[in-house]
Copies of this chain bind each other. A is one copy, B any other.
Amino acid sequence: MADLETRELRYFVAVAEELHFGRAADRLGIAQPPLSRAIRQLEHRLGVQLLDRDRRGAALTDAGRVLLREARTALDAVAAAERRTRRAGDPKRPLVLVTKAGASHELLRRLLDALAAPVEVLLCEVGEQARRLRDGQADVALMHRPFDDLAGFDTADLCVEGQVAIVPAEHPLASREQLTMADVRDVPDLPIARWPRLDGSYPDGPGPEVRTQSQLAQLVALGRTLLVIPASSRAWQWPEHVAVPVVDAPDVTTVIAWPRSSRSQEVASLVRSAVTVLDGLC
């Protein structure tokens, strides 16, 4: 009853992502026949069909979809083990804090100023923090409830704030003192941008599809989309835009998150300082 090896998981993930043995083999840097054989062995060993082969490629079965999801988490965990061990062996490792590009600069700067220990900052795209934390590329993350997926992490709240709508200065909405979600939803000339779901697909709607903060920033600069964001994220506001409070938008809580059961002394003390420094500050 031989166990699964990470090599087999990597092979399967490659095939499941490419849905094509040849391209997957290319990506893995091996030839196609060994890859076919490896997947076939894997299926045989698990006693489960993972792929429906077809002349025009391959398609995932239900079991294949399960394995794809599970294999990714397993590979993340293995990568985390490797990275964290390497870091643990480095006597003067700085902690890595990951946050999304475009989040409040102000809060981050205060935090870093207040911390005694050197902290390396890693910026990533929206929704990427969780993976960076899970696979060991970062030790702590700044995330935002209720937007980010906090499952699997311990968290401490840092601050709570309302949200504002970013609209072009000459737009009728810009003169209002405050707005409601009803006001900003379905504004015909300023549709709200759509972010991808966890599985990569996009919800329906009139707004443009965006995947990165920079795409979004560009759309905002062009006055092509309406934005509802935490008040502190106004950092990237252009003079030709106005921020108007949206009174009934859910409050956004900035939290500091770290992997559950991180026994690290450094992480614990960083979290403690973060909470102390920012308590009652916003």
Contacts and interface: CB of A to CB of B under 8 A. Distances in A.
Interface of A: 3-7, 9-10, 46-50, 61-63, 65-67, 69-71, 73-74, 76-82, 84-86, 88-89, 136, 149, 151-154, 198, 260-261, 263
Given A66-B84, A74-B81, A76-B77, 7 more contacts: A3-B82, A46-B85, A47-B89, A70-B80, A78-B78, A149-B260, A151-B261
Given A49-B89, A86-B48, A153-B151, A70 B63 contact: no
The secondary structure that dominates the A interface is helix
Contact of A7 (B5, B80, B261, B263): B5
Contact of A74 (B65, B74, B263): B74
Contact of A89 (B46, B80, B86, B88): B46
Contacts of A7: 3, 5
21 contacts: A3-B6, A3-B10, A3-B78, A3-B82, A4-B6, A46-B85, A46-B86, A46-B89, A47-B89, A48-B86, A61-B89, A66-B84, A66-B85, A67-B84, A69-B263, A74-B78, A74-B80, A74-B81, A149-B260, A151-B153, A151-B260
Contact of A260 (B66, B89, B152, B263): B152
A6 B78 contact: yes
Contacts of A48: 85-86, 88-89
Given A4-B6, A151-B154, A70 B85 contact: yes
A21 B206 CA distance: 63
Contacts of A263: 65, 69
A276 B125 CA distance: 38
Contacts of A70: 77, 80-81, 84-85, 136
A199 to B, nearest CB: 8
Of A3, A73, A85, A153, most buried by chain B (CB within 10 Å of CB) is A85
Contact of A63 (B10, B85, B136): B85
Contact of A6 (B5, B63, B73): B5
B73 A77 contact: yes
Contacts of A77: 70, 73-74, 76-78
Which 4 A-B residue pairs are closest in the complex by CB-CB distance? Answer: A48-B89, A70-B81, A151-B260, A74-B77
